[in-house]
Amino acid sequence: TSSGNNATGGDAMSVIGDILGSVIASNTELTVESLEGNWQYAAPACKFMSQDFLKSAGGDVVASQISNELAPTYAKLGFTSDNFAIKFDNAGGFVLTYSKLPLPGTATKAEASGYFTLDFLNIGTVAIVSTPAYFEVLGGKMVILFEADKFVNMFRSIVNTLGITSLNTIFELVDSYDGVLIGFELSKQQ
């Protein structure tokens, strides 16, 4: 359920924010098979870990505000529909493509909780980055969210290689909010 519609027209929160609300949903029933498909970047996404924080922080307005402020930074970082996509197979294997750079890995479900672990692989099965990720899937829309500091650390080496210096802006933006998750809204491709 949604806790309100504060999004406007082409707002970065877009339809999935209205459908799923600004607090991450409990995803104990979501499986790696649920992630299968080709997913293409649509917009920045921001949600909170708990309803308690959301109430104290000003509700959906804060999530919408953060997403709107992330949009220009994401554009500078190359997070666009032409430049960012992820393909999952039905066993949790994935390839995240960012700026033509394919980053393979595996997604596994944490049994007792609603999050997954994404292991980005280097050679063979050696993980170069392992991070918790929170997913919501509804029809042809997916949201992938990360704890803000882990998001920054995950993409820091990639954007440094590409010569992009805007990543700290994201961390500064969300640093004042505990329990904030940032990431991507994606659309399923046929």
Backbone angles phi, psi at 51, to 5 degrees: -65, -35
Look at residue 59 and tell me whether its pLDDT is greater than 60. no
> What confidence tier does 98 reach under pLDDT thresholds 50, 70, 90?
confident
Give the dihedral of Cα atoms 128, 149, 74, 21; nearest 10 deg. Answer: 110
- CB-based contact 171:153 (threshold 8 Å): no
> What confidence tier does 55 reach under pLDDT thresholds 50, 70, 90?
low
pTM recorded for the entire structure:
0.76
Look at residue 53 and tell me whether its pLDDT is greater than 60. no
Mean pLDDT across the chain, nearest whole number?
A: 75
Q: Which residues in 88-105 are b (16+ Cβ under 10 Å) and which e?
A: beeebebebbbbeeebeb
What is the percent of the chain where pLDDT is above 90?
Answer: 30
Structure tokens at 127: 């993980």
What value does the mean pLDDT take over residues 64-85? Answer: 86
What is the percent of the chain where pLDDT is above 70?
Answer: 64
Q: Looking at per-residue confidence, does 143 or 65 come out higher?
A: 143
d(CA 169, CA 125): 32
> What confidence tier does 25 reach under pLDDT thresholds 50, 70, 90?
low
pLDDT at res. 50: 65
Pick from 19-23, 77-81, 135-139: least confident: 19-23
Burial status of residue 126 (CB atoms within 10 A of its CB: 0-12, 13-18, 19 or more): exposed
Look at residue 6 and tell me whether its pLDDT is greater than 50. no
Using only C-alpha atoms, the chain has a radius of gyration, in whole angstroms, of 15
d(CA 78, CA 62): 24
pLDDT at res. 152: 77
Query: Which has the closest alpha carbon to 3: 61, 65, 71?
Result: 61
What value does the mean pLDDT take over residues 94-104? Answer: 89
